[in-house]
Amino acid sequence: MTMSALGEPCVLLKLGEVVLKGNNRELFEQRLQANIKAALKDFDFKVDVRQRHGVIALFLPDGTTVEVADAVAERVAYVPGLVWIHRAWRVEKDPGAVTKAAIELLADRDDVRRGVSFAVRSRRRDKRFPLTSMEIDRSVGGELNDIYGLPVDLKNPELVVSIEVDRDEVFVFTGGMPGQGGLPVGTSGRGLVLMSGGIDSPVAAYRMMRRGLRVDFLHFSGIPFTTSESIYKAYALVRALDRFQGRSRLWVVPFGKAQQSIKASGQDRLAVISQRRLMLKTAEEVARRLRAGALVTGDSLGQVSSQTLQNITAQDDAVDLPILRPLIGLDKTEIMAEARRIGTLEISELPDEDCCTLLAPRRAETAAKIADLRQIEKRLDAEELAVQLAGSLQEYKLEG
């Protein structure tokens, strides 16, 4: 490919839900731009981020290679708020230059040699350009047909050559990769995720990040009665999820002695729900210190005994903060598919000694009564215990 014909490599980002925000749109766009810049901070050059109507263009320094431009595109594909990422070429606003770039773009492609069907689809955001969108399609499409002999299919083409005329330049590209969609992280406040080492809670965290929530992660360890394996696993999960928001923080509470106290209370069937309520009370205290406005769990209705409707209601009673449950209507197959897609499933399936193994009653209560749970908590002085547990909080900083 000759750089002179193709112009300069760049990345074109398409916005989704952000464009529907009316008078608040500018605030969402500013947050999204900041998140994009933060995601690219590890590159050893400055990326010029420019906002256009409905798109964001990333201009790279002179001499940037195609491989580096591809790496930039792949990195920003993890940033929520974007629906499509296109590795594009920036060419001058001249019909002849646009045609040459489109011709060069298809050179040496295997699918072109196979004779795939194609179409040219143009969008003219700058109406001052001398050709209309339809005229661009016909002009460029005719040249491509003459040179490569590809069949034209305007309804279901196998290859689409996209041309977008902007204020200062024209973008030419084929294909693209889907983004995460949703809203920019940080536009919906801050939450605290109760992060186990299982499959569900990482997916719940991801879903809330996609809705604009910046999250911290709270893990309950069985220490001193278990090893640190579950902490290492939680740490690995947070690292995997950090691609979507950056600057993630993992907090760990040693929970083993509190579990021992619950077990010693003698209420075997209520032990699991009592534990869950104490975790939530502790999380609420931690959230207060971190200024988080909600708790997030991976509960799915009816999946296990603690997640029956009555038991979920009993857990809600334990705290005043809202508990967000983004997986509530999903089954395990759906949750696993999403975990696989976002890259957390393999980590979640690693063996570890989870704190929940310390409380494994022969039969767990599926319809716990709130009054009974409050009685147990009164004997344990659960409110004070939650404050003490929050006071033992440790932060595990992500490296790099």
β pairing state of 214-221 and 170-174: unpaired
* Number of alpha helices (DSSP H) and beta strands (DSSP E) in the chain: 15, 14
220 annotated as ligand-binding: yes
Alpha helices in 9-153 (DSSP H): 25-39, 66-76, 95-105, 110-113, 133-148
Query: Which whole-number Å values give the CA distances from 7 to 4, 127, 170, 326, in the listed order?
Result: 5, 22, 10, 44
In 3-state terms, what secondary structure has residue 34? helix
CA distance 337 to 350: 17
| Surface-to-core class of residue 202, CB atoms within 10 Å of its CB (0-12 exposed, 13-18 middle, 19+ buried) | buried
Instruction: Collect all residues with Cβ–Cβ distance below 8 Å to 3 and sequence separation of at least 6.
Output: none
Query: Which whole-number Å values give the CA distances from 64 to 3, 48, 61, 68, 94, in the listed order?
Result: 11, 13, 6, 7, 23
CA distance 14 to 278: 44
Strands, DSSP E only, in the chain? 8-15, 48-52, 55-59, 82-91, 118-124, 159-165, 170-174, 177-178, 190-194, 214-221, 250-254, 295-296, 323-324, 394-396
Both structure tokens of 339: 């975990």
Q: Taking phi first (over 0 means left), then psi (-120 to 50 degrees means alpha), and beta for anything else, what does residue 266 get?
A: left
219 annotated as ligand-binding: yes
298 annotated as ligand-binding: yes
208 annotated as ligand-binding: no
| Surface-to-core class of residue 259, CB atoms within 10 Å of its CB (0-12 exposed, 13-18 middle, 19+ buried) | buried
194 annotated as ligand-binding: yes
The residues with which 191 forms a beta bridge, in sequence order, are: 215
- Could you tell me how far CA 90 lies from the centroid of its own chain? 28
As annotated, the binding site includes 194-195, 219-220, 276, 298, 307
As annotated, the binding site for ATP includes 194-195, 219-220, 276, 298, 307
